[in-house]
Each structure stands twice: as C-alpha cells, then as structure tokens.
Chain A
C-alpha cells in the first residue's frame, strides 16, 4: 500500500507540478546546450515566465503568462485541455478555465495582452486548460503560448528564460545535479530542484519517502513480532503433541541438530503454500483498496494504479513470511531436540509433567476451572498467547491516536469547509448582507454562511495587552464549533451580546469567565469569555487571539453590517457552469476562491491516511482473530484424548465446550487487561504529545476504541470455540480412548 501510495504521489506530483527534476535559470546558452547533451538528461525544454513585477493585463486583470517549447508542453508540463487545443502558432494562447467567465472569453476570441509601457498584442484564444488547485484557489489566471509566441509577444527584459530538465529514472539524480552545479559553476539560485517530485521518486535527501518507507518498515517489524509470537505458540503445541515421534527419531539415531533441522524444514514447508496464498490475497486486497480510493476521491486518485503489482510488497511479504517462521521455529525446534529417546517407549509427554497446581474447583465450576487451568498451566504458552493479545490491544490503542491527530490536522475536511468563497477585495465588511439571502435561493447551493472580520483590535486581558481578531459566527458555524468546545458554553454566546468564544492558545492565560476589554474605534467594550474552543478554521499570529461572537454582537461592537467572507457549500452534482452562474450573481468585483479541487486533494490525503491507519488496525484485529482461533484449535487437538476420557466419565458436550471457551476467554481477558495496563498510558502519552499540545483537547479514556478491540478479542474467542466444539461433538469416544 505504501508502494501504491508512492506511485500515486509520483503521478499526482507530475500532474500538479510537472515532470521535471531540475530548473535552470540565469545562465548562458552554451552552458544550457552542454547540459542538454548529458547522457542522464532524458528531456530538456525551454520555459519562459513573466517576471513578477511585470504588469501585463487582459481586460484590466493581471495575468500570469508563460511560454514553453514542444518538449515541455509534450513531456514535462502536459496540461489537460478542457476545450479547444494547444497553441501552435505564435499568436495563439490557451487560458486556465477560471479565466473563461472572469474575462468573458471563448475559444476563437481575440484578446488583447496589454502593458502600460507597450503596444497591446492581439492574441487568439484557441483553448482552455485545467488549472491546478492552487491556481483555482487563488483565483489566478494563467495564459500559455508557444516559445515563438512568447518571444514574439514579450520583450526579452520582461521574462525569464528557464530550462526544465527531466533526468533518467535510473541515475542518481542528486549526484547528477551536484555534478552539473560543480561542472558549470552554477549557484543554488541558478539550479533549482523539484523537491516534491524528487522526494516521491526516492531521489531526495528530503525525509518524505524515507519516512514513509521507514514507517512501513516499523509496521513490518511490529506485525512480524505479533506473527512470530502467534506462530511460536502454535508450533510449541504442535511439538508437544508429537514428542513420542521425536523420541522415536532420537531412538533411531537422529541427532539433536537433525531434529531441529527437521522441525525447521517442516515449518518452512508450510511457507510453500502459505506465502503464495498470502501474496495473492494481499495483492487482491491492495487492488480493492486502490479501487476504493479511486471511487471515493476520483479526482485525486485518478492516477492510482488499479491492477498493478507492488514487487516491493511481494518481496517484503515473502521475506516477512519466511523470517517469521524462522524466528518462530527456533524455540520449538530446540524443544523437540531435547525430547528424550525414552518417550518413544513411554508415550507422548503430556501436560502432566508441567502441571504444578490443581484447578480451582472450589471457586469455579469444574468445566470453567479446568478450562482456566488449561490456559494458565503452560507458562511459556500462556505468556506467548497473552503477549500476542496484549500487543494487539496496545497497537490498536496507540494507532488510534493517529486517527485523532488526522481528524484535527486535516482542516479542509471539517464540516465548515466551503466549496467556493467570495471574499471582500479589501478584507473589510463590504459584502452586502442581502447577498446571503439571494444565494440561498440558488438551487445548487446547499449551505451559505458568512463571517465578519475585524482584525488586530487592541485588547486588554488581565494586565496584558494583546491583539485580537474578532470574527462573527452564525447558526451553522456555532453548531460546528460545538465539536471543538473544550470548556464553557456556546449558547450564551448566541444569546448574549457581550459573551464570546476564544480559541485555545499555548499560553492559556485566558479562560472561561475571563474578561477582555476591546478597544474598537476608540471605545472600550468589555466582553466575557463564555467558552473555549480547541481549534478554529482561522490561523493567527502568536500574539493574537481569535475572538468569536454572534453576528448581532459583531454589529453592536463594530457598527459593521456587511460580510468579509461568504462561504458556499454546493449540492452534489454542482457543475462548473453552476459555479459560473453563482459568480455572475455575486459579480466579479470580489475575490473568488474555488476550493473544490483543493478539497478533493485534502479529501484524498485524508482518505489515503485513513485507509492506511484503519487498514493497519484491521490487520491487527485479523491477527488477533487468527491467533485465538488457531491457538484454541491447537489446544483442543492436543487434548483430544483427554476430552474423550472426560466424555466417557460423563462430561457432556456442552460442558466440554464451556471448558474450551473458558480457556479461550482466559487468554483474551488476561491479554486485554495486560494490553490496557500497558496501552492506556501509552495512548495518553501519545495523545498529549500529538493532540493536546497542539489543539488543547484534554485526554479522555478512549472508550470507543478500547471497546472495539476488547470486543473483537473476546468475540473472536467465542467464535474460536465453534470449530473445536464441532470436532468434540463429532468425536467418537470409543476411538479416542482406545487409541494409544
């Protein structure tokens, strides 16, 4: 899954940023020619970009203009053409989609590229391209033309000549880049790396990929440890059932080393079937997960491979399978080698030799007492079983903290995330309040809500002078804020004009019932803190506090009636033309931000993280289930003759099943308790480090997660009895007790 994620990231990076590894600027043509002929250079292309201080406009609106040669447009920065075609002639251009409405242009239209110091240049719009989420969010326009067109339209002093280089995948890119720098005496400013793409290609000194693979490696080890404990327990039981056989082998002359090799080879023989099955199931599972991601977030995960095979995953799977077996078989093979040749004569060493205490029949009923005793009599086995269960509980609890972190950290997916926003051009309360009512009536608008902002208001809190950003909330936003309320009440803020909410800050000097004096337009106004929020959608400087009040309170405090921002959430199926209509309704004299693409990206990140986290939790759960089912089956198998004798004496089938269930539940209950004793402090520690320190949420007992894992462990114990109970029911008592 890590491999698939990396591949997807690579494709996504190429899609958003282009398929270039190095950008060279501010150098002469000779150096450029020599670099382009290097054997490691796969694609080399020219890219012209207007300097920032350029004042080019189209219809009075500033525009970013870029030119590229064919190599760049075909192989390095291919842009998806939504309408029309890519420019071929020097007077042809393509625009990003958002320019269509804003500039009111269509394919075939002629536009004028204007500059205050030069003649306007006539250009023909031949197409519209998909912009990146960043471009759309910032409502910037990009115009692309051919190299010839750029050189024709723009004076040389207005633009930068940039050269984009795509290196071969099989070279050490860092080394090549360093070599180019040294050979041609280029500075860091002249040669810029595409850090994001290099990182996802594993060619960066950046930590991202290394962290991802390191994380995968750590998880690999954890899963392997759990698997080793589980297998070792099973192998132990398996060996103990066959001590007579090993005694016979020793009788016939097998050395201890030969016995150990025998046991090891037997265990490795299982790998012949188990590993291919595991690889097939794992590959199929990855296909399903990749398909799920593509369905859930098609925009972001469109490049996710669906029927691809991760060779790293396959090799790792084979390695973990073999390593797990090799580690797990060490102790059981030594045990088998220690079996005395006399057991060939005396029969299987059974559990009598290791039993030191009797079952507690005075405390429990006979069947329960024997079941508990079966679980606890073999110290090593008990340790392994309890250890593997408690490891599952610990891992589950610790990993659940990352879910809390993820829910806090990925803001755009909060319920208040808008699809599109209209923002006052000068950040004042200039958007008329009547606009909201108009927008509500639009059919594709699901929700519309506004906020009023007053920035950097001087405040006095206690004896401290600070600055505050005052923000208004309406009903939707107040209801969403309840989820992050740490202390106090939101109702007072909604009802009373001088009550406010503040957002948790690291210094924690202000709390509920605290008083703040605002200095607005030279008037002092005292407000009371009614509630404390762990977070808000707004960022502010360290010495600033965010103060949230009702719209009525804001109007009362500031005298303003309009909005600074109006956010809109669209209904499902809202198209680009719906967005264009809404923009027409609002007008083009406000800033417009289209967050749909960036929301999709954030959703993509969220879902891939969630899939990873939940996927790992599912693996932990599956290991627990397999562990208990396997262990109980092995335990019943080992004691089947004893069960036959008990049936003969008069133990009913139901009592036998109760006995087996008691054994299973002993493992799972003790394992859960030990897991909680170790896992809960670890959960608390991780939660405080990852969540409380950032957002202030106090640690609470993770009853939900705890409930899930403990329920899984216990329910799987109950189900583990099903197979053995069937075996016991079908058992022929006569055959069992007469067998030696």
Chain B
C-alpha cells in the first residue's frame, strides 16, 4: 500500500544570483512498513526534503500526497493538525518539551488533540522504550539516549502513517545510536511503521529497506531495487 507519493518536488531559495535549487524535481514513493534512508553530504537537500514531506516548509513546486491527501492543498492549521495525527518526527536534538515529564512528552500529540491517552498503550510504549521507571522524570534528568527514546515514543504514540527522522543518531554516542536504530527497526518491523530517515552516516543504512541518495537537490535510488535517478 502506497503511503507516500512525492511528485516533482522542487524547492528554490533566494533570487537571482543568490538563488539556490535545494530540490530539483524529486519524485518517489514509499510503501507501508518501508524503512528508507536518505543519505547525502551537507547542503545536499536532505533536510529540505524532510521538511517539505513533513509539511514544515512549502515547496516551490510539486506535490506531496500522504495517504491519498495532498499535503499542501490544506490550509496551515489543517496541515498542522494532520501532521500531529499522521506524521511523527524524530529530531537530531530531540526537541522534547522541557516542562513535560517523559510520559507527558510521549503523549504530547494526543494532548494537543485535547484527548486522554490510552493508559495501556502508553504503558506498552514505555516498556518497549525501557523508560517505564523514568516516566515521571523531566528531560533535563535524562541522558541523550534516553531523550531520543522519548522522542521516538512521541513519534510512535499516534501510530502515524509516516515517521520522519532527521539525523536521529547525530547527537548520540555509538551505543546509544545503535539502541535508537534498533528501536526504529523494531518499529518498522513490529508495528509496520513507515519510516524515512535522513542520515549522513552510511553505516546506518545497512539495516534499512531502501537507500536514497540526494546530491545537489537530485534524488537517486541506491537500492533495494535498481540504481535509478529519481529526479
């Protein structure tokens, strides 16, 4: 089942001589349960691609269809709510809410909907993340690895259509990085979670289903299937 369809996506910054084509007619799709990685050097357009897919940035042209819905045909507030319910984010610097406990951070998207979270689901996620004993701790009382696990829990809690991970291990040591990758893989395999991860670390791509390379705004599929340009 096709979850994500990106069609001729372009993003241009600036004007005239200062114009930068961050994305050049990028098109690709993702299936449900697929774990894809986007690799590329600094300034290649990885984060721009992720931001556009997540609805955080407006593309200059092209479309992003998520579960049959055109993301940028929605108004801003509508897109925010859609993102809250259907897209999970994992950032390099965790971006937890410092005033909320571990448990509150995890259920944050549900609280934003003014809903009460299901205690059983929360408990399960806390156990999976190994954070049950720290559920009342604040982010300032956690290590980096623990904070990133909280962020993953937050991304998973709404069982979103798509999880976008921007350098999720970029701020972690190797052990924690591996733990985080293990969690993401588990989410993908166990929960059939569709994950698109950005990384500059080629080593992390061994566990993913598909690797996409972006260079100067041009996206290329490096595998599982064939090595084809997707721009």
| Chain A contacts to B: CB under 8 angstroms | 350-353, 355-356, 358-359, 361, 365-367, 370, 373-374, 377, 642, 645-655, 732-734, 737-738
Contacts and interface: CB of A to CB of B under 8 A. Distances in A.
B93 to A, nearest CB: 8
Given A366-B108, A366-B111, A652-B81, A733 B154 contact: no
Contact of A650 (B48, B51, B80, B97): B80
A645 B95 CA distance: 6
Contact of B154 (A370, A649, A734): A649
Given A355-B98, A359-B100, A734-B51, A649 B56 contact: no
Contacts of A653: 76-77, 80
Nearest to A645: B95
A621 B151 CA distance: 44
Interface in B182-211: none
Given A350-B98, A366-B111, A737-B91, 15 more contacts: A355-B98, A358-B101, A361-B104, A370-B99, A373-B99, A374-B99, A645-B91, A648-B54, A648-B56, A648-B89, A650-B87, A652-B112, A653-B76, A654-B77, A733-B57
Contact of B140 (A352, A361, A651, A733): A352
Contacts of B40: none
Nearest to B113: A650
A654 B81 CA distance: 11
Contacts of B97: 370, 642, 645-646
Contacts of B98: 350-352, 355, 642
Contact of B80 (A361, A370, A647, A738): A647
Given A648-B95, A650-B112, A652-B81, A370 B100 contact: yes
Interface in B139-185: 139-140, 154
B162 to A, nearest CB: 13
Nearest to A653: B77
A650 B138 contact: no
Contacts of B99: 351, 355, 358-359, 370, 373-374, 377
B85 interface: yes
A373 B99 CA distance: 7
A352 B137 CA distance: 12
B181 to A, nearest CB: 22
A355 B87 CA distance: 29
A365 B116 CA distance: 10
Interface in B55-103: 56-57, 76-77, 80-81, 83-85, 87, 89, 91, 95, 97-101
A651 B112 contact: yes
14 contacts: A355-B140, A356-B138, A359-B99, A367-B112, A645-B91, A646-B97, A647-B56, A650-B83, A650-B84, A651-B84, A651-B112, A652-B112, A653-B77, A655-B112
Nearest to B52: A734
Given A353-B140, A361-B100, A733-B56, A649 B47 contact: no
A365 B51 contact: no
A506 B128 CA distance: 81
A501 to B, nearest CB: 62
B114 A352 contact: no
Nearest to A647: B80
B136 interface: yes
B7 to A, nearest CB: 20
Contacts of A649: 83-84, 89, 95, 108-109, 112, 154
A527 to B, nearest CB: 71
A732 B111 CA distance: 23
Contacts of A377: 99
B225 to A, nearest CB: 30
State the 8 A-B residue pairs at the shortest beta-carbon distance, nearest first: A650-B84, A352-B140, A645-B95, A366-B111, A734-B57, A352-B98, A734-B51, A358-B101
A431 B136 CA distance: 90
A358 B80 contact: no
B104 A652 contact: no
B155 to A, nearest CB: 9
Nearest to A359: B99
A646 B83 CA distance: 11
A646 B99 CA distance: 12
B196 to A, nearest CB: 15
Contacts of B80: 647, 650-653
A358 B100 contact: yes
A642 B109 CA distance: 15
B216 to A, nearest CB: 19
Nearest to A354: B140
A373 B100 CA distance: 10
B97 to A, nearest CB: 7
B136 A650 contact: no
A647 B84 CA distance: 9
B85 A650 contact: yes
Nearest to B82: A650
Given A351-B98, A359-B100, A642-B97, A737 B111 contact: no
B58 to A, nearest CB: 9
A351 B114 CA distance: 25
A559 B166 CA distance: 103
